[in-house]
């Protein structure tokens, strides 16, 4: 049960703190006073989408906080499922930031938006004008029927089988399509594999050939450099080697006089030997370097071939070879398509048989649930002033061909049926689709009847009706008020209404007022005393001018509502 609600800096609300009790809680006020803003705030606590535009102008953040009192058994199991500690109630808080992001907390611990949504589904249901449009949409009728008939578990089981059959069917269609194109594809793959195979690629070959091409292209320059280096080191008079030998001889003489020079002798000897080796290597290198136009032409041709293959199949030779492995594997698989198609045909047929059997079971259960729900709705509607109404839920299979299933019922993700609500509000009229015949007032009563039935079955203890009185008035409004009072015997009910005939049935009455102060607008929520409630019901009856007769009428309505 929702017992406390605190809203700060939300829309035009500066700060509101309100306590609620059990039974029927009515919220009334002038149009535009901010009643729907309260519902929007509660919706945030149930995990609805947040927006920076919801923050009151000039403020840095908005917050909505509520305390929900739990029944003992339900509270412990719910918190256990969410991995939270046992508690007698839930302190839920959501904070909105200018970035549009928000944070949620449960009993002081940060929780995810998904956890908040799970809590909302268990704690509070809000029924507003948007649900009327959902109710008129035939596409949603199958969900309403399955939900009311307790068929969602069976439907989920069907959907698992349906998903497997759909997957097998799509794979089968892909293989059959590939089989039709196989000859052309295999020829194409064979060409690519042969082209790469004939090239006899070796990883790193392009780099090696590139280096050799560079040597051949600059052979004359390299020969000149090698000759010059060898001559400087060892060839001409005054060469490095000749000077090192002279230096070494002098150092040896000095070392005989002063042994401290011995290490230098060893160093010069090492440099001398290295210089001789380098000179020898340069001569050998120069003798091997020569310009070979035929070899250069061969290298250029090979590099062109490698470049073309890399451009077609991959930026590196390793990727070209990997591409060959891939297409060879595909070619191998294409050769065994018949076997795979046969296996998938069998799997698809088996899954379709199972899915069809489950769809037929689901359809039978739907027809039973449809009769039961229609009967309950007619009874409820008769108590809401629609005594001669006929309500029927049509459950019919979709005929056609679906994948490999063959002729017969066409399967879809929710079974094999098409569900539509039909209504005849008056005697002598044919049953027609709800979307084409129901007036606003009739639709409001049908919605209320539906929620009355669902309320008996749901474990949700708090129900919020946002302007359930649309399109009704007078005696029907009084009937709706009594129906809400009846629902409130076993649930905490909030009703936002413009009709005094409904408001007078409330156990607790709140007035929502929009006021101005300091050039700013703010919203005030006031819990009404008996006297204040009398004045509010009179206002709802008489508008701006309230007379003694209006007060008397309001007093009589309140007295009759208590009987």
Work out the burial of residue 264: count CB atoms within 10 Å of its CB; fewer than 13 is exposed, 13-18 middle, 19 or more buried. Answer: middle
Q: What DSSP designation does 234 have? A: I
Angle, CA 542 vertex, CA 538 and CA 547 arms, to 5°: 75
Q: Report whether pLDDT(425) > 90.
A: no
Per-residue pLDDT, 209: 86
Q: Report whether pLDDT(74) > 60.
A: no
Q: What is the DSSP string of 83-139?
A: T----SEEEEEEEE-TTS-EEEEETTEEE-HHHHHHHHHHHEEEE-HHHHHHHH-HH
Q: What is the side-by-side order of every strand in the sheet holding 109-111? A: 13-19, 2-10, 62-69, 89-96, 102-106, 109-111
Q: Which of 27-41, 126-140, 338-352 has the lowest mean pLDDT?
A: 126-140
Sign of the C-alpha dihedral computed for residues 426, 470, 51 and 119 taken in this order:
negative
Average pLDDT of 85-114? 88
Continuous segment of H or E residues that includes residue 26: strand 24-28
Q: Are 513 and 522 in contact (CB under 8 A)?
A: no
Sign of the C-alpha dihedral computed for residues 524, 525, 526 and 528 taken in this order:
positive
Q: Which of 119-128, 175-184, 199-208, 261-270 has the lowest mean pLDDT?
A: 175-184
With tokens 């629902």, the residue in question is: 487
Q: Report whether pLDDT(404) > 50.
A: no
pLDDT band at 339 (very low <50, low <70, confident <90, very high): confident
Q: What is the DSSP string of 435-475?
A: HHH--HHHHHHHHHHHHHHHHHH----EEEEESTTTT--HH
CA 174/CA 484 separation, integer angstroms = 56
Q: What is the DSSP string of 381-425?
A: HHTTT-TT-EEEEEEEEPBS--TTS-SSBPPBTTBSEEEEEEEE-
Smallest CA-to-CA distance from 540 within 482, 497, 481 is with 497
Per-residue pLDDT, 73: 57
pLDDT band at 158 (very low <50, low <70, confident <90, very high): very high
Pick the most confident of 142-151, 360-369, 392-401: 360-369
Average pLDDT, the chain: 86
Provide the β-strand partners of residue 10. 13, 55
Cβ neighbours of residue 315 under 8 Å, at least 6 residues apart?
A: none
Q: Report whether pLDDT(501) > 90.
A: yes
Cβ neighbours of residue 118 under 8 Å, at least 6 residues apart?
A: 82
Q: Report whether pLDDT(87) > 80.
A: no
- Over residues 377-400, the pLDDT tens digits come to 999 888 888 888 999 999 999 876
- The length of the chain, given as a count of residues: 563
The predicted model scores a pTM of 0.63
The CATH-assigned architecture of domain 1-128+459-528 is 3-Layer(aba) Sandwich (3.40)
Q: What DSSP designation does 54 have? A: G
Domain ranges of the chain: 1-128+459-528, 186-334, 530-563
Q: Report whether pLDDT(485) > 60.
A: yes
pLDDT band at 214 (very low <50, low <70, confident <90, very high): confident
CA 79/CA 71 separation, integer angstroms = 12
Q: What is the side-by-side order of every strand in the sheet holding 492-496? A: 124-127, 462-466, 492-496, 24-28, 508-517, 520-527
- Over residues 513-522, the pLDDT tens digits come to 998 888 888 8
Provide the β-strand partners of residue 27. 496, 510
Per-residue pLDDT, 259: 87
Percent of the residues in the chain that have a pLDDT greater than 90, as a whole number: 37
Q: Report whether pLDDT(84) > 80.
A: no
pLDDT band at 450 (very low <50, low <70, confident <90, very high): confident
């Amino acid at each position: 049960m929702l017992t406390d609600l605190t809203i700060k800096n939300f829309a035009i609300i500066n700060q509101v703190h309100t306590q609620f009790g059990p039974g029927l809680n009515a919220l009334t006020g002038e149009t535009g006073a901010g009643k729907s803003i309260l519902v929007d705030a509660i919706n945030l606590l149930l995990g609805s989408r947040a927006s920076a535009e919801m923050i009151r102008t000039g403020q840095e953040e908005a917050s909505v906080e509520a305390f929900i009192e739990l029944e003992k058994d339900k509270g412990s199991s719910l918190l256990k499922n969410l991995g939270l500690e046992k508690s007698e109630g839930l302190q839920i808080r959501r904070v909105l930031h200018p970035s549009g992001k928000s944070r949620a907390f449960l009993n002081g611990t940060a929780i995810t938006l998904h956890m908040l949504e799970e809590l909302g589904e268990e704690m509070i249901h809000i029924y507003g004008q948007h649900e009327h449009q959902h109710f008129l949409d035939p596409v949603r009728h199958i969900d309403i029927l399955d939900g009311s008939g307790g068929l969602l578990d069976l439907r989920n089981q069907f959907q698992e089988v349906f998903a497997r059959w759909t997957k097998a069917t799509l794979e089968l269609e892909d293989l059959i399509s590939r089989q039709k194109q196989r000859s052309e594809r295999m020829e194409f793959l064979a060409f690519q594999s042969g082209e790469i195979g004939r090239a006899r690629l070796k990883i790193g070959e392009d780099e090696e050939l590139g280096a050799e091409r560079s040597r051949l292209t600059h052979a004359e320059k390299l020969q000149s450099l090698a000759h010059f280096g060898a001559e400087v080191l060892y060839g001409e008079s005054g060469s490095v080697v000749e000077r090192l030998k002279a230096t070494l001889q002098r150092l040896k003489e000095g070392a005989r006089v002063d042994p401290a020079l011995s290490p230098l002798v060893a160093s010069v000897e090492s440099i001398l030997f290295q210089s001789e080796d380098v000179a020898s290597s340069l001569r050998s290198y120069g003798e091997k370097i020569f310009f070979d136009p035929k070899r250069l032409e061969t290298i250029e041709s090979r590099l062109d071939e490698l470049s073309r293959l890399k451009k077609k199949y991959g930026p590196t030779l390793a990727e070209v070879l990997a591409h060959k492995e891939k297409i060879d594997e595909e070619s191998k698989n294409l050769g065994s398509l018949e076997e795979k198609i046969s296996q998938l045909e069998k799997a698809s047929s088996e899954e379709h048989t199972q899915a069809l059997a489950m769809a037929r079971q689901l359809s039978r259960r739907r027809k039973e649930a449809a009769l039961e729900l229609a009967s309950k709705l007619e009874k409820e509607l008769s108590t809401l002033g629609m005594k001669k109404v006929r309500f029927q839920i049509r459950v019919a299979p979709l005929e056609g061909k679906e994948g490999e299933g063959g002729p017969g019922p066409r399967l879809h993700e929710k079974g094999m049926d098409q569900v539509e609500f039909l209504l005849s509000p008056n005697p002598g009229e044919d049953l027609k689709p709800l979307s084409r015949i129901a007036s606003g007032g009739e639709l409001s009563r049908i919605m209320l009847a539906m929620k009355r039935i669902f309320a008996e079955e749901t474990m949700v203890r708090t129900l919020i009706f946002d302007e359930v009185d649309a399109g009704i008035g007078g005696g029907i409004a009084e009937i709706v008020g009594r129906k809400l009072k009846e629902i409130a015997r076993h649930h905490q009910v909030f009703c936002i209404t413009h009709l005094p005939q409904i408001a007078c049935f409330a156990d607790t009455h709140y007035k929502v007022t929009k006021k101005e102060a300091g050039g700013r607008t703010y919203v005030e929520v006031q819990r009404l005393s008996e006297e204040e409630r009398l004045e509010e019901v009179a206002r709802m009856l008489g508008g701006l001018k309230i007379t003694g007769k209006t007060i008397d009428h309001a007093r009589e309505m309140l007295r009759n509502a208590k009987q």
